[in-house]
Amino acid sequence: MNVCFQCGMYHADKVIDPSGPFAICPDCGYRYLFQQLPLLIISGASGAGKSTICHYLLRQDTQAVVLDCDILWRPEFNAPDKNHRDFFETWLRVCKNISQSGRPVVLCGAGMGVPENIENCIERRYFSKIYYLALVCSDETLSERLQQRPAWRGTQNPTYIEEHIRFNRWFKEYDGQPVIKLVDTTNAILEETASQVAAWIDENIRSSV
């Protein structure tokens, strides 16, 4: 979509006319009619349960395309000095193109759930709205889950655990805009959590039609 079908120039920063909606080429003015669907993001600290829920939804949800953002992670994206911007832009571009099939994307990933990482991206303009949900749990539960993982994952390191406890608390304390819906997984069974998340997905997709 970033390549103009008329003049062939590449622009991620096309002007969006919501009346179509149209993505307008800034070089030649070509108006490309596209589907501006919502994007739904499921986030949370490591150990909160997002990967488990993502894999569960893959087998249950048919109205959306469910993706785990870790599948595209590569070392070259590890650029904290740039706030990992290339990684976020790449994922939004992927989701934008997938949504042209008429099905919105549910994207699961930790940093994806921080609105300032997403809302400032160039590719953000191609979505009608972005909905955020974060899985959270108690500090003790998070620590126990991380320590119980296989050693190869490297999550038993005290520094790693403390980092994700802070991230878990950040979601709980966040009170800004856009809103982040919280789902507590401390004592919930998988099916119960999945049911809450599925209802949230369904509600937001229906409200965006």
- Per-residue model confidence as pLDDT tens digits over 66-93: 999 999 999 899 888 888 999 999 999 9
The pLDDT tens digits for 182-209 are 999 999 999 999 999 999 999 999 998 6
14 and 58 in a common domain: no
166 and 113 in a common domain: yes
199 and 146 in a common domain: yes
d(CA 37, CA 207): 11
107 and 158 in a common domain: yes
User: Cis ω on the peptide bond leading into residue 178 (within 30° of 0)?
Assistant: yes
10 and 98 in a common domain: no
Which CATH number goes with the domain that contains 119? 3.40.50.300
Instruction: Give me the numbers of helices (H) and strands (E) for the chain, helices first please.
Output: 6, 8
- For the record, the structure tokens of 70 come out as 């870790």
Residue 69: CB atoms within 10 A of its CB come to 23
- Please, how many CA atoms are within 13 Å of residue 60, restricted to the half-sphere of its CB? 17
Structural domain range at position 197: 36-208
70 and 142 in a common domain: yes
